[in-house]
Structure 1
Amino acid sequence: MKQPKHADDAPVPGRRLVLLRHAKAEPASGTIPDFDRPLALNGRRQASGVGMALTAAGLVPELVLVSSALRTRQTWDLARGHLGGHPKVPVELHDDLYAASIGDVLDLVRGVDPAIKTLLVVGHEPTMAATAAYVADKSSDDAALAQVRVGVPTATFSVLSATKQPWQEWGKRSARLVRVGRPS
């Protein structure tokens, strides 16, 4: 497997976890179960922008874990189409990401192949932001940490980095929260 690189072509040290809240979904209604809510038109634009933003930031994942809810699957499908010609990224759908706790997310992360250097998880609020806040160590970016502590808007991704930490050891305060981003 090729070593992932930053946008400037420098190799990526260690591991990076990207936690993405799905793009904007249609409002909840009594006619469609929450699990089956599709993306709104604005959400479709956001999701496409996520792919471009990840590519521009050098964050093209080697593996993607996606909640099996419709809006998260649609977010990844649209983002994937804008990864700048990268080969097809392996995707795993997980029913348990729909109503996941921080522990559920970390259990999935800890089960990732050690060869994977950049992992993307596409899920829901408040869990994506709460997981980022939980994993963030004291060297984390202050503004990014403040944002995840209050929650993140749709189509927002948090990037955590650990230089030597294997996936199996990720937990409370185990990685540096380096940024929170979203497409423009």
Structure 2
Amino acid sequence: MAKRAKEYKHVLIIMRHAKTEAFNAKGDFERVLTDKGLKQAKRVAKGLRDMGLVPDQIDCSSATRAMQTCERMLKVFGDAPKVDYYQDLYAKGMQAVFDMLAACKDKRHALLVLGHEPTVSLASQWLAGEQSDPGQLDLLNLGMSTAGVAIFGSNAPFRKWGTHEANLIAVLTPKEFEK
């Protein structure tokens, strides 16, 4: 899978935040990661790093659980990724993902968009081109698990990505990153 990703000039990783508490008295936006969620975020970051897929840019929802997922992953990634936090990735749904791609600089080669369900699985379905593996596409129809990732590749810069133009390389759950 890592070998397939290396075939492309631009790799997009769309990720759902890690496991959270079911309820927070301050509201949905303030829900925090559970111990399991902290472990998931670290496991996925290590797996991506080991595959050579450390992003150079992370666009992250500003919801607490997404920021905590990102912070945990940065402990593995180090200072390499530039990180920006966006309210839109929480509030504006799938359009926010396409806005992130449209605003991405051409020099970015590995982008991680960290958001919420159902946005992450729906955006992934819209990005996946005809050349994508049907079995992987079926996994997206089920929705993305907490800390799940969809990995896409294309030789076009992110700002030129349209619907059904990227190659869906893999859909992975945190368990698939276990050694």
**Taking structure 1 as the reference length, what is the TM-score of the superposition?**
0.88
5+ long unaligned stretches in structure 2? none
Q: Number of aligned pairs?
A: 174
Shift of 1:11: 5.5
3-state SS in 2 of match to 1:81: helix
Query: Does 1:139 pair with 2:131?
Result: yes
User: Per residue, is there more helix in 1 or in 2?
Assistant: 2
Alpha-carbon distance between aligned partners in 1 of 2:161 and 2:32, rounded to the nearest angstrom: 32
What is the aligned partner in structure 1 of residue 172 from structure 2?
181
What RMSD over aligned residues (CA atoms) do the two structures have, in Å?
Answer: 1.8
Which residue identity lines up with residue 56 of structure 2 in the other structure?
A: E
Distance (Å, rounded) in 2 between the aligned partners of 1:117 and 1:142: 25
Runs of at least 5 residues in structure 1 that lack an aligned partner in the other structure: 1-5
- Measured in 2, the distance between the counterparts of 1:144 and 1:39 equals 27
Q: Deviations over 1:99-152 (max 9, x none)?
A: 232222101111011010100000000000111110100111222111112211
Partner of 1:58 in structure 2?
52
Percentage identity across paired residues of the two chains: 32
Partner SS, residue 91 of structure 2? coil
Distance across 1 between alignment mates of 2:115 and 2:6 = 27
- Cα gap change, 1:151 to 1:7, in 2 (>3 Å): closer
- 1:20 alignment partner in structure 2: 15
For 1:62 and 1:159, the matched residues in 2 are separated by 15
| TM-score, normalised with respect to structure 2 | 0.90
Secondary structure of the 2:169 match is strand
1:118 pairs with 2:110: yes
After the TM superposition, which segments of 4 or more aligned residues of structure 1 sit over 4 Å from their partners? none
Given residue 169 of structure 2, which amino acid in structure 1 is its aligned partner?
Answer: V
